[in-house]
Amino acid sequence: MVTSMAPRVESLASSGIQSIPKEYIRPQEELTSIGNVFDEEKKEEGPQVPTIDLREIDSEDTEVRERCRQELKKAAMEWGVMHLVNHGISDELMERVKKAGQKFFELSVEEKEKYANDQASGKIQGYGSKLANNASGQLEWEDYFFHLVYPEDKRDLSIWPQTPSDYTEVTSEYARQLRVLASKILSALSLCLGLEEGRLEKEVGGLEELLLQMKINYYPKCPQPELALGVEAHTDVSALTFILHNMVPGLQLFYEGKWITAKCVPNSIIMHIGDTIEILSNGKFKSILHRGLVNKEKVRISWAVFCEPPKEKIILKPLSETVTETEPPLFPPRTFAQHIQHKLFRKTRDGQSN
């Protein structure tokens, strides 16, 4: 069966349509919870995504260092998502990464098509739009660019954007610095679980095998944002996910039975705990359900970097230290590839992202 190519969402958005095609309209039960994201972001009442200041994570002072770790631990256990500030990556580098990605998306669709991926043939890196992979045949209001950015010897630079000319340089430097940050977080989370400092890093593949995959998500303006989603509700399969964005709100977290909109925190990196760490920690750290809203007024762009264990080499299961008689293992042993298949199977079977 040949899947017809979904039109690029950007082309749809710029065609002047007043109403969106039916395959982008969310099911009725979801529509009741989709509000105006700018109004949602202004809400001061109710729970807010925690902000974690990492300045003291390596402090010489044991007490200060421990306090920082405890804040990280609390956020990982209660939310599984947080704004990281003082994370060690310069504002200037983050701005350059954002500018380079934005410049790529400012190219014409024809120009971007030269980098098109071909999911049907398994070529997943490159420029693309979401194909329907759930029972309802639903599409999401986004285009994206996806590529592996670290380790450097596993990259395919031939599919990296040539325009702008500094894209490869700034994205590579950002990936290197993010990899250092990932190690720092994994060390702290290991200690929070009472494990040796290097344990989680080793369990997700270490420097050689942990893959950093970048997905630049491009959410065009949407004529009927109350009917669509940029990204449907899901949890990340990764170990950790780090996100930059262009300060346009959109990220929502499903917390204590309600959708909470994340505020835009300047110079922060949003970090999600993914399924991989949730499994290894036997559910002590949460992989939170989240989704992306779109709007009529502003294009939203986000830069998500997924830190993923190798697909087949490692069996993911709760670490023995996290399992007791009263806390039996919550997850069966699976490879990362099997975990992804399991999620896709559940999704196609019941039309849900869970």
Residues near 300 by beta carbon (within 8 Å), at least 6 away in sequence: 217, 219, 230, 245, 246, 248, 249, 250, 292, 294
343 phi, psi to nearest 5 deg: -65, -40
Closest CA relative to residue 353, chosen from 122, 138, 37: 138
| Number of other residues whose CB lies within 10 A of the CB of residue 138 | 20
Cα separation, 52 vs 72, in Å, equals 6
248 phi, psi to nearest 5 deg: -105, 125
255 DSSP β-pair partners: 258
Q: Which residues belong to the active site?
A: 215, 234, 236, 290
Write the DSSP symbol of residue 258.
E
What is the secondary structure of 94-162 as a DSSP string? HHHHHHHHHHHHHS-HHHHHTTB-BGGGTB-SEEEEPPP-STT----S-EEEEEEEESGGG--GGGS--
- Characterize the bridge pairing of strands 51-53 and 81-85: parallel
The answer to whether 35 touches 158, Cβ cutoff 8 Å, is no
Whether cis (ω within 30° of 0) applies to the bond prior to 309 is: no
The answer to whether 55 touches 86, Cβ cutoff 8 Å, is yes
CA atoms within 13 Å, Cβ hemisphere of 305: 26
